[in-house]
C-alpha cells in the first residue's frame, strides 16, 4: 500500500482503488449464523449504521437472527477516514417446523400468574445480554459444553393447535441428570440465577464484545456472578429445572442481544478456515 501511494501520487482515483483495505468474512451469510470479520488494518466498523467493536487484531463479530430477511449494510471506515460500504445478503435457513394439534389449551397459553415470572426472566436475561465488555475471550473458539446427542436444534418451532410458539432459541443436548456442564469458552459469569420460569437454574457467560452463552435447566449452579471461568471449567450440572420435560442442557448464544445458532460457535474454528474477501460493488 505504501509503495502504491508514492508511485501514484498524482492519479488519486487509481490510488483510491488500490488503497481499498481488504475486508474478510469467515463463516456463512445465513439466517441464525455468527460471522467473524477481519480488517487488514485499523479501522471502524458499522453494521446497519451502528458502530461495533473491533479487536486489536482487526477482528469483529456479526450475527444474523433466525428470521433475518433484510440485506445488511457493513461499513468500514479506514484510518484515512475513507468509507467502504458492503451489502450483505443473508441466505434463508430451512428451520424445522412441526405442527402439533390436540394439545390441551392451558399448556399452549401461559396463565396470568406465569406472565409475571416470564417477565422477570426476560428482564434478567435481557440485562445480561446487553452487557458489552471490551475484554475478549472468544478467540480460543468454543467447545460443546456437554457430550451428548443434540435433542433439539436452534430455530425449530412448534405450531400447537395452529398457534405458532416461540422458535427454539438454543441447542438442546441430552445428558444424564448431574452430568457436569463445562464453560464453552473462558469468560465472566454475567448471570447465575435460580429457578426461572423457562430456564430454571441458569448461567450466562460473557465472552466480550457483547457475545454471551447461556446454560439452562441446570440441576445445580457451580459459579457465582462476576467470577471469571476458563474454558472447560465446570459451571453447573445437567438438570431439568424450569420448563423441561427431561434432563438436558439448553445451550444458547447471543451477540449484542440477538440470539443466534450456538452451533456456529462450535464451528468457529472451522469457519475461520472458510474466509472470503468482500468486494465493493
Ligand atoms: Zn432448549
What distance in Å separates the CA atoms of residue 261 and residue 263, rounded to the nearest whole number?
5
Residues forming CATH 2.70.70.10 domain(s) in the chain: 97-261
What's the 252 CA to ligand 1 centre distance in angstroms? 8
What's the 67 CA to ligand 1 centre distance in angstroms? 18
pLDDT for res 104: 66
Residues in the chain: 281
What's the 156 CA to ligand 1 centre distance in angstroms? 10
pLDDT for res 59: 96
Q: pTM of the entire structure?
A: 0.89
Residues lying with their CB under 5 A of ligand 1, a single-atom ion: 170, 172, 250
Class assignment of domain 97-261? mainly beta
pLDDT over 50 (residue 17): no
pLDDT for res 5: 40
Q: Which long-range contacts (CB under 8 A, 24 or more apart) does 105-114 make?
A: 105/161, 107/160, 108/160, 108/161, 108/163, 108/165, 109/163, 114/197
pLDDT for res 112: 81
Share of the chain above pLDDT 90, in %: 77
pLDDT digits (tens, 9 = 90+) for 246-262: 999 999 999 999 999 99
pLDDT for res 248: 96
Beta-ladder partners of 52: 45
pLDDT digits (tens, 9 = 90+) for 208-232: 999 999 999 999 999 999 999 999 9
pLDDT digits (tens, 9 = 90+) for 258-271: 999 999 999 999 99
pLDDT for res 264: 97
pLDDT for res 40: 87
Q: Sort residue 69 into left (φ over 0), alpha (ψ -120 to 50) or beta.
A: alpha
Range 2-92+269-277 classified under CATH 2.60.40? yes
pLDDT for res 42: 85
What's the 169 CA to ligand 1 centre distance in angstroms? 7
- Mean pLDDT (the chain) is 90
More confident residue, 75 or 13: 75
What distance in Å separates the CA atoms of residue 100 and residue 102, rounded to the nearest whole number?
7
* Listed ranges 20-34, 64-78, 107-121; the one with the highest mean pLDDT: 64-78
What's the 171 CA to ligand 1 centre distance in angstroms? 6
Residues forming CATH 2.60.40 domain(s) in the chain: 2-92+269-277
Amino acid at each position: 500500500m505504501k509503495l502504491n501511494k508514492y508511485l501514484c501520487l498524482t492519479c488519486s482515483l487509481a490510488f483510491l482503488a488500490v488503497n481499498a483495505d481488504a475486508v474478510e468474512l469467515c463463516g456463512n451469510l445465513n439466517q441464525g449464523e455468527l460471522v467473524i470479520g477481519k480488517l487488514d488494518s485499523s479501522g471502524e466498523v458499522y453494521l446497519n449504521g451502528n458502530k461495533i467493536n473491533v479487536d486489536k487484531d482487526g477482528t469483529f463479530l456479526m450475527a444474523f437472527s433466525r428470521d433475518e430477511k433484510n440485506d445488511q449494510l457493513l461499513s468500514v471506515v479506514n484510518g484515512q477516514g475513507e468509507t467502504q460500504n458492503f451489502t450483505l445478503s443473508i441466505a434463508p435457513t430451512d428451520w424445522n417446523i412441526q405442527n402439533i394439534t390436540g394439545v390441551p389449551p392451558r399448556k399452549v397459553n401461559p396463565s396470568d400468574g406465569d406472565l409475571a415470572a416470564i417477565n422477570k426472566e426476560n428482564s434478567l436475561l435481557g440485562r445480561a445480554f446487553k452487557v458489552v465488555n471490551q475484554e475478549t475471550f472468544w478467540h480460543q473458539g468454543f467447545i460443546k459444553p456437554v457430550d451428548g446427542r443434540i435433542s433439539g436444534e436452534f430455530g425449530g418451532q412448534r405450531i400447537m393447535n395452529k398457534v405458532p410458539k416461540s422458535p427454539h432459541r438454543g441447542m438442546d443436548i441430552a445428558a444424564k441428570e448431574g452430568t457436569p456442564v463445562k464453560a464453552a469458552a473462558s469468560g465472566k459469569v454475567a448471570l447465575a440465577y435460580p429457578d426461572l420460569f423457562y430456564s430454571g437454574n441458569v448461567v450466562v457467560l460473557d465472552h466480550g464484545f457483547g457475545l454471551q452463552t447461556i446454560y439452562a435447566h441446570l440441576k445445580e449452579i457451580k459459579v457465582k456472578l462476576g467470577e471469571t471461568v476458563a474454558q472447560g471449567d465446570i459451571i453447573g450440572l445437567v438438570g431439568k429445572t424450569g420448563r423441561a420435560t427431561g434432563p438436558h442442557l439448553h445451550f444458547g448464544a447471543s451477540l449484542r442481544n440477538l440470539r443466534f445458532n450456538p452451533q456456529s460457535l462450535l464451528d468457529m474454528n472451522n469457519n475461520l478456515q472458510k474466509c472470503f474477501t468482500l468486494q465493493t460493488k
